[in-house]
């Protein structure tokens, strides 16, 4: 039985904690840590977890814990990955792994030096539809990828702008799309980025550095051209889609519907859309943690690595610089910082 500690007990952390406690064979939720008073205690009690604390270092110091799942705020991720690796724990970290390349490099180096698995929470890699699209690419079904598209549209922002860090649209939303584009174009790397972004949903938040709408053009070294787009208000539900168009065909993936059921009535034909990421990617979130636990047990390499997180982060940083400068940015220029 793999004993896993959870660091961060917000919505995503709570879901992962429940998966570890109740959904994944061979896993045991051994501890929950969250700095907010009472949060870890409540989650631990609801999941019959024996230990809760406000101090993550207590989880890392426990010799009985084999691995940790990090679902803390993004700015804390890199430091927690380093600390967990130094403690000899296998690490699953929610995206983004870091918000600076130097921090990402230190986190990767710490995991490598400790010889522990480091997996990043890019759950689209574990979604059946996204996997099927990638399989089409790998099998040659779409030929040479030429045009790619990925999008994320959130139903709404449910927190105050003061609690949302600047550039969240790139670091925490589009980071998924950047990873998906790389994953769906597996023989290439991004070389140049051009991005535009604005506050179209909440213009009054713009002065606080919160942009809510963005489009990013990404050029790859195999010639493929990709677009990624994001919005923080899709009134019809949580919307995630992707497309790979190539010389021999096209693969598309994504469905906003909560289920395949469609109701036909006097008001017309209606399909209910998913209202959250936890609805749309429920099975993928469980699968990624199950895969992490399997990697801890077998020593296999995770399907989404620290290097993958770093590559997506580099695209995000280039996109931010492009918005700031108004022009295209080479990935090499970001690496020079």
Confidence label for 148 from pLDDT (cuts 50, 70 and 90): very high
Q: From edge to edge, which strands make up the β-sheet containing 27-33?
A: 52-53, 27-33, 2-7, 67-70, 90-93, 118-120
Q: What would the two tokens of residue 151 be?
A: 């999008």
- 276: pLDDT strictly greater than 90: no
Q: What is the pLDDT of residue 161?
A: 64
Residue 154 has phi, psi (to 5 degrees) of -85, 145
- 162: pLDDT strictly greater than 70: no
Query: For 42-97, what is each residue's pLDDT tens digit?
Result: 999 999 999 999 999 999 999 999 999 999 999 999 999 999 999 999 999 999 99
Query: For 190-229, what is each residue's pLDDT tens digit?
Result: 999 999 999 999 898 888 878 999 999 999 999 999 999 9
User: Is the model more confident about 260 or about 23?
Assistant: 23
Confidence label for 131 from pLDDT (cuts 50, 70 and 90): very high
| Domain extent listing, the chain | 2-116, 128-281+312-335
CATH topology of domain 128-281+312-335: Dihydrodipicolinate Reductase; domain 2 (3.30.360)
Residue 167 has phi, psi (to 5 degrees) of 65, 20
Does this model's pTM top 0.85? My answer is yes
Q: What is the pLDDT of residue 14?
A: 98
Residue 266: partners with Cβ closer than 8 Å, 6 or more residues away: none
Residues pairing with 305 in the sheet: 119
- 256: pLDDT strictly greater than 90: no
The CATH number of the structural domain formed by 2-116 is 3.40.50.720
Domains 2-116 and 128-281+312-335 share a fold: no
Confidence label for 323 from pLDDT (cuts 50, 70 and 90): very high
Instruction: State the Rg of the chain over Cα.
Output: 20
User: Is the model more confident about 257 or about 268?
Assistant: 268
Residues pairing with 269 in the sheet: 264
Instruction: For residue 160, count other CB atoms closer than 10 A to its CB.
Output: 8
């Amino acid at each position: 039985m793999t004993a896993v500690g959870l660091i961060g007990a917000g919505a995503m952390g709570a879901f992962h904690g429940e998966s570890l406690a109740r959904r994944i064979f061979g896993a045991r939720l051994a501890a929950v840590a969250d700095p907010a008073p009472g949060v870890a205690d409540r989650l631990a009690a609801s999941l019959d977890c024996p230990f809760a604390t406000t101090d993550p270092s207590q989880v890392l110091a426990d010799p009985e814990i084999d691995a940790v799942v990090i679902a803390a705020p993004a700015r804390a991720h890199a430091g927690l990955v380093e600390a967990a690796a130094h403690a000899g724990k296998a690490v699953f970290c929610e995206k983004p792994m870091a918000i600076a390349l130097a921090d990402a490099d230190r986190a990767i180096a710490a995991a490598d030096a400790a010889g522990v698995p480091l997996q990043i929470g890019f759950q689209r890699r574990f979604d059946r539809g996204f996997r099927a699209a990638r399989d089409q690419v790998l099998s040659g079904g779409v030929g040479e990828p030429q045009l790619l598209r990925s999008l994320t549209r959130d139903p709404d922002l449910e927190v105050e702008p003061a609690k949302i860090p600047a550039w969240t649209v790139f670091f925490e939303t589009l980071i998924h799309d950047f990873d998906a584009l790389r994953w769906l174009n597996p023989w290439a790397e991004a070389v140049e980025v051009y991005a535009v972004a604005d506050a179209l949903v909440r213009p009054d938040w713009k002065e606080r550095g919160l942009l809510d709408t963005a489009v990013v053009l990404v050029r790859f070294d195999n010639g493929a051209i990709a677009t990624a787009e994001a919005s923080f208000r899709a009134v019809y539900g949580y919307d995630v889609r992707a497309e790979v168009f190539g010389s021999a065909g096209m693969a598309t993936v994504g469905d906003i519907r909560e289920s395949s059921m469609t109701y036909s009535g006097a008001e017309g034909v209606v399909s209910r859309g998913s209202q959250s990421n936890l609805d749309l990617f429920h099975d993928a979130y469980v699968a990624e943690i199950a895969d992490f636990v399997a990697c801890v047990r077998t020593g296999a390499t995770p399907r989404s690595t620290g290097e993958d997180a770093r590559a997506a982060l580099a695209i995000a940083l280039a996109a931010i610089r492009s918005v700031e400068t108004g022009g295209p940015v080479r990935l090499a220029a970001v690496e020079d910082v």
